[in-house]
Amino acid sequence: MQSSVQNFKSAFIIDDHPLFCDALSMTLSHVANIADIRTFANLGDSITALEDAARPDLIVLDLNLPDVDGLDGVVRLLNLVDAPVIVVSSMSDNRVISSTLRAGASGFVPKHSKREVFSAAIDTLRRGQKFTPDGFVEENAESDMNIPDALSRLSTLTNQQARILELICQGKLNKQIAFDLSIAETTVKAHVTAIMRKLGVQSRTQAVLLAKETSFANVLHEGAGPA
């Protein structure tokens, strides 16, 4: 990400467990000398702060939040900031870590890691590299799906559905998509339901991952069917 060592002076911690937020704040202060640390119990409050022009050098994000569906938080944050996002979660199997990194996160630290692991993670991010925990084995994106089959499913989307999926990949909420496309929010919801059915996925996050893993942006308008 950066060609030289980056100095993190400020950070956002987004986690709905106050005690963990306090512990992680002390850890970041100790291992990285980060003095300006703000904590948030949900994604919405952190996004409001970002929209109000707050620009942290680092974002630490939990996947399990009351107002976010899995990796949607990573996608939405990266749509707003250039700062590295590192995920800290108790869900730390290879598939979760692989999906997190493919969604754009700069690293993953299991939630109950020792302080030394957090220190190593910060040092790695400072060098512009991605951090993964010991024992991690990256899973091939094609192991989670058949790429030709996924492309075939994407090609069944109408132009409107393709555009909506593109906006979902940018982290837009239904009401924002409705505003951008000048349609009713109920219409967006209906399209999202149809998109997930056509793609054979159960959530917006899975739709985003499928789109990213098949380079959807490059085939978006070429593969989409009639409106």
84-124 pLDDT tens trace: 999 998 888 887 888 888 888 999 999 989 999 999 999 99
The CATH class that applies to domain 10-126 reads: alpha beta
- Write down the pLDDT at residue 213: 67
The full set of domain ranges for the chain reads 10-126, 142-223
Query: Tens of pLDDT along 133-185?
Result: 998 887 665 444 555 677 778 878 888 898 899 888 888 889 999 999 999 99
**Percent helix, strand and coil across the chain, each to the nearest 5:** 50, 10, 35
Q: Same CATH topology for 10-126 and 142-223?
A: yes
17: left (phi over 0), alpha (psi -120 to 50) or beta: beta
* Domain 142-223 part of CATH 3.40.50.2300: yes
CA distance 75 to 52: 19
